[in-house]
């Protein structure tokens, strides 16, 4: 079986959660004999065809981007051509231009879409886009919600309930590098032996202003890994609050990330809007056996992190509650360790790459057979 993934960004141009999800789906299903290819847009120079992790990635030039909606006329022809040799086309939502390209390319192959998130921020544009969105979702053969929680709380997904199934993301621990003693020693010297860790792109919905406001009331060490569009704004906010115990270390490579995940005391994940549909880096914390603090936003974050079991879940946009949760874990190492152990157990039971890949392979076979 051949599967073509279509999304606006992919490695090496971007390293976000959706890209990580596509990568993990491709690697996992490839082990089951599925041949994956990725069609993506690029705003940079580089080869039109690459091989990454054994997957062929086709890159077409991006023409314009409006309100995070990247567009490319060349991608329409490329989608039509590559879909012709695929058994299943796998889209990733939200991406309005991707919906449009599906129809302009006249894709008639069996198709599925992973519904990564509702559209939360661009309310005015959503009204214009809504007819196309619903036509697209009605046309595809299968829709994947990334958690039962998101399916239950999304008005859009409930409208298509009969063809929606929940397939949580899964991670392959073996693809994460084992940090060397030298690298671990380096980070111990940089950030200490005991700290809360955040990993992610620094975007508006990550709620890092909430974490910073919480840290104005307590002095636990916090390490923030990542770069992004509001990085300078967050650093200025931390400086105004005098947060010398909060370290912004920028984007790091996979070896450094693995070292920090190994060393950290707990994960701090303050995302406060439904744009955070799942939380790949939160799942990474669970995979490393770390207790977690997150906010209840009705999405997959509360499928990964179970309040009182694998960590603590607090109301969104509540710095005092977030700070109190940090205090609870910090002052009770035995509780934190027990929660971290249960987080690791939950990862192994529900969120492995093998389980996710098997579920997607089953879905691909179902839609391919039903469309014949």
pLDDT in tens, 265-312: 999 999 999 889 899 999 999 999 999 999 999 999 999 999 999 999
pLDDT (average), residues 96-113: 97
Picking from 101, 64, 63, 99, the residue whose alpha carbon sits closest to that of residue 82 is: 101
pLDDT (average), residues 103-109: 97
pLDDT (average), residues 164-183: 95
Specify the DSSP class assigned to residue 44.
Answer: S
pLDDT (average), residues 236-252: 97
pLDDT (average), residues 146-172: 94
Picking from 311, 330, 88, 128, the residue whose alpha carbon sits closest to that of residue 218 is: 330
**Residue 47 scores a pLDDT above 80:** yes
- pLDDT one-digit tens code per residue, 109-126: 999 999 998 887 777 788
pLDDT band at 232 (very low <50, low <70, confident <90, very high): very high
**Residue 41 scores a pLDDT above 90:** yes
pLDDT (average), residues 165-169: 96
Cα 73 from chain centroid (whole Å): 27
- E-strand ranges in the chain read 2-6, 35-42, 49-52, 55-61, 64-66, 69-71, 88-93, 111-115, 142-145, 164-166, 196-199, 222-225, 246-250, 266-269, 292-295, 311-314
CATH topology of domain 2-170+353-371: Rossmann fold (3.40.50)
The CATH 3.40.50.2000 portion of the chain extends over 2-170+353-371, 173-351
Pairing status of strand 64-66 against strand 35-42: unpaired
Token pair listed for 360: 């997607």
Is CATH 3.40.50.2000 the classification given to domain 173-351?
yes
Q: Are 166 and 144 a contacting pair, CB within 8 Å? A: yes
Give the per-residue pLDDT at 190.
96
Give the per-residue pLDDT at 11.
87
Give the per-residue pLDDT at 120.
74
Give the per-residue pLDDT at 330.
98
Give the per-residue pLDDT at 372.
58
Give the per-residue pLDDT at 334.
98
Average pLDDT of the chain? 95
CB hemisphere CA count around 204 (13 angstroms) = 6
**Residue 73 scores a pLDDT above 70:** yes
Give the per-residue pLDDT at 152.
93
**Residue 350 scores a pLDDT above 80:** yes
Outline where 200-352 has alpha helix (H): 208-215, 231-241, 254-263, 280-287, 301-304, 319-330, 333-350
**Residue 22 scores a pLDDT above 90:** yes
Q: Are 21 and 356 a contacting pair, CB within 8 Å? A: no
């Amino acid at each position: 079986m051949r599967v073509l993934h279509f999304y606006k960004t992919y490695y090496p141009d971007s390293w976000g959660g959706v890209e990580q999800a596509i990568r993990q789906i491709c690697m996992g299903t490839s082990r089951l004999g599925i041949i994956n290819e990725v069609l993506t847009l690029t705003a940079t120079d580089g080869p039109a065809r690459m091989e990454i992790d054994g997957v062929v990635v086709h890159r077409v030039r991006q023409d314009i981007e409006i309100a995070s909606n990247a567009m490319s006329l060349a991608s329409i022809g490329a989608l039509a051509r590559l879909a012709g040799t695929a058994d299943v086309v796998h889209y990733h939502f939200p991406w309005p231009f991707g919906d449009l390209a599906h129809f302009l390319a006249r894709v008639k192959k069996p198709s599925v879409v992973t519904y990564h998130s509702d559209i939360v921020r661009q309310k005015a544009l959503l009204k214009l886009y809504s007819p196309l969105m619903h036509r697209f979702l009605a046309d595809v053969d299968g829709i994947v919600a990334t958690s039962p929680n998101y399916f239950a709380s999304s008005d859009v997904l409930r409208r298509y309930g009969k063809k929606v199934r929940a397939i949580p993301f899964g991670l392959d621990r073996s693809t994460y590098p084992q940090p060397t003693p030298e690298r671990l020693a380096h980070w111990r010297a940089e950030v200490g032996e005991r700290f809360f860790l955040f990993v992610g792109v620094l975007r508006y919905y990550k709620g890092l202003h909430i974490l910073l406001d919480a840290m104005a009331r307590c002095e636990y060490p916090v390490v923030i890994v990542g770069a992004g569009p509001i990085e300078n704004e967050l650093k200025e906010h931390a400086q105004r609050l005098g947060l010398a115990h909060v370290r912004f270390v920028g984007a790091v490579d996979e070896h450094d990330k693995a070292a920090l995940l190994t060393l950290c005391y707990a994960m701090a994940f303050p995302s406060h809007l439904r744009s955070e549909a799942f939380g790949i880096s939160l799942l990474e914390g669970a995979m490393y056996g770390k207790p977690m603090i997150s906010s209840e936003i009705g999405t997959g974050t509360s499928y990964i992190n179970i309040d009182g079991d694998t960590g603590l879940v607090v109301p969104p946009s509540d710095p005092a509650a977030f700070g109190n949760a940090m205090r609870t874990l910090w002052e009770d190492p035995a509780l934190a360790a027990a929660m971290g152990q249960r987080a690791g157990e939950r990862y192994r039971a529900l969120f492995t790459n093998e389980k996710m890949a098997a579920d997607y392979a089953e879905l691909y076979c179902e839609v391919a057979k039903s469309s014949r």
